[in-house]
Structure 1
Amino acid sequence: MLRLIDQTLGKWLRHVFFAIVRTYFALFYNVSCSGKHLLQDTPGALILATHVSRFDGPLIAAILYTTQRIRPVVHYNEYYNWIQWFPMFVARAIPVSSPKTWTPERRQAQKEASMQRILRALEREESVLLFPAGHTRQQEPEVIAPHLSGAYDILQTNPDRPVLLLRLDGLGKFQPARYDYFWTFLGIRKGRRHISVDIKTVCALDPSTDLAAFNNTLEAMLNTPIRDAF
């Protein structure tokens, strides 16, 4: 029943949300996206993204909505926030982690259930969006805490899964803010803020290594400037 609702009413609601969010970003941000065709050619990809601001999720959803079905992975507390729950539910976001007040057994069960939902989505060729750092940047470089293992666990379970790296530039607190002149006809000097979205295929992540080495490699990739190839 949930699948039927998702494919009917859910699809209409996602179109409405897309129109609202895309209009907002078109008015206040000048967004360019490179490598979008890679996503279109790679169904069921694991997308690993930098997390530079609280607008990352809506921006990525708006930019990639017409390219492929994206299932974002979000923290449990974000998913069940009463303000955010409905759009998260409509987007079919996958909640991960759990409250620290839960028993270890309950937390482990929640972790396994979340992993199964992610793997099932990938098997249906729905791309899964994951922020490996787990939260927005508190400093200039992207930092992945040693205990965070989301991408590592997914690729250990399914090592042949295609991986795409998505990096955002120009949106975060620690990134340069540049503007166009879109609003000058109203006498406003600063127009829309320039944002670059860069998508690349990743082949260098090896889930057979230990977690620390895996996270160090991924962290270096996320911190590579968009202008530089790797």
Structure 2
Amino acid sequence: MKRFFDKTLGRWTRHFFFVLVRSYYALFYNVSVSGKHLLQAQPGTLILATHVSRHDGPLIAAMLYSTARVRPTVHWDEFHNKAQWFPMYVSGAIALSSPKSWEAERRAARKTKVLKIIGKVLRNGNSVLLFPAGKIRRQPEEIIAPHLSGVRDILAAHPDTPVMTLHIDGLGQFQPAQHDKFWSFLGRQKGRRHVQLTLTPVTDLDPKEDLAAFNADLERRLNG
């Protein structure tokens, strides 16, 4: 029954919000996407994105919506924020992590369950979006804490998963802002801000590496 509603009412709702969100970004941002065709030919991809602003999640979902369904991953606290329940449900967000107050056994069981959910999503041909740094950057570069294990855990559990990095340029506070003249007829000096999304396939991430070394390698790729 849940799958039926997702394919009918859920699909219509996603289309409606896609039109709204895509229209917003078309009006106020000039967005180009490189490598989108590679994602279309590679269903069930783990997308590892830089995190430069609060727009990242909805912007990526809107730009890739017509290419592939992208299921975002979010932190437990964000997922269970009542104010964000509806957009989380519509986007099919997947909650990562768990409350630190839980017992170790319960947290381990939760991680196992999440990895199974992600595996099922990938096998169904949907892509999964993950921000390896876990939060919006407060400095020019991406910094991945050595203890964050989400990416490595997913690849260790599902080693055949195709992987792509996604770089967002022109949107964050530490990135140069360039604008076109889209709104010049209204007397505004600045028009839409130019934003570039670049998808790049990755074939040599090794989840067997030490976690700190794995994260350092991934950090280098995201800052490359």
Name 2:205's counterpart in structure 1: 205
Please give the alpha-carbon distance, in whole angstroms, between the structure 2 residues aligned to 1:73 and 1:207: 19
- Greater CA drift, 206-215 or 11-20: 206-215
| CA deviations over 1:38-63 (Å, ceiling 9, x no partner) | 10000011111111111100000000
Which residue matches 1:58? 58
Please give the alpha-carbon distance, in whole angstroms, between the structure 2 residues aligned to 1:99 and 1:86. 21
Tell whether the 8 Å contact from 2:71 to 2:127 is kept in structure 1 after alignment: yes
| Deviation (angstroms), 1:107 | 2.1
Residue of structure 2 equivalent to 1:121: 121
Q: Corresponding residue for 1:85?
A: 85
Q: Could you list the per-position Cα deviations for residues 98-122 of structure 1 after superposition, in whole angstroms to 9, with x for gaps in the alignment?
A: 2222232322222222111111111
SS at match of 1:23: helix
- Counterpart CA distance in 2 for 1:126 and 1:28 is 28
Deviates more, 1:34-43 or 1:71-80: 71-80
Shift of the alpha carbon at 1:66? 0.4
Instruction: State the TM-score, normalized to the length of structure 1.
Output: 0.94
Indicate the SS of the match to 1:84: helix
Match of 1:227 in 2: none
Partners of 1:97 and 1:159 in 2: CA distance: 20
The CA distance in 1 between the partners of 2:21 and 2:77, in whole Å, is 22
Distance of 1:90 and 1:212 partners within structure 2: 34
Shift of 1:77: 1.3
SS of equivalent residue, structure 1 residue 208: coil
Which residue is 2:109 aligned to? 109
Amino acid at match of 2:102: W
Residue equivalent to 2:153: 153
Instruction: Judge conservation of contact 2:31–2:196 (CA < 8 Å) in 1.
Output: yes
| Aligned 1:213-224 pairs, distance under 5 A | 213-224=213-224
- Quote how far apart the aligned CAs of 1:191 are: 0.6
How do 1:150-229 residues align onto structure 2 when only pairs under 5 Å count?
150-224=150-224
Q: CA deviation at 1:11?
A: 0.2
* Rounded Cα–Cα distance in structure 1 between residues aligned with 2:100 and 2:15: 36
Q: Which runs of 5+ in 2 are unaligned?
A: none
SS at match of 2:82: coil
Q: Is 182-191 or 113-122 further displaced after alignment?
A: 113-122
Which blocks of at least 5 consecutive residues in structure 1 are unaligned? 225-230
Contact 2:115 2:157 in 1 (8 A): no
| Matched AA of 1:37 | H
1:48-99 deviation per Cα after TM superposition (whole angstroms, max 9, x unaligned): 1111111100000000000011111111111122221111111111011122
In the alignment, is the contact (CA less than 8 A) between 2:47 and 2:166 conserved in 1? Answer: yes
Structure 1 outlier segments of 4+, above 3 Å: none
Residue by residue over 1:136-194, the C-alpha shift from the partner in whole angstroms, topping out at 9 and shown as x without a partner, is 10111001001111110111112221111111001111111111111110000011111
Counterpart contact for 2:46–2:127, Cα < 8 Å: yes
Q: Distance in 1 between matches of 2:111 and 2:158?
A: 17
The CA distance in 1 between the partners of 2:217 and 2:68, in whole Å, is: 27
Aligned to 1:141: 141
Which residue in the other structure is 2:22 paired with?
22
Alignment-derived partner of residue 4 in structure 1: 4
The CA RMSD measured in Å over matched residues stands at 1.0
1:39 aligns with 2:35: no
TM-score (norm 2): 0.97
Q: Which residue in 2 is equivalent to 1:130?
A: 130
How many correspondences in the alignment? 224
Aligned-residue identity in percent: 60
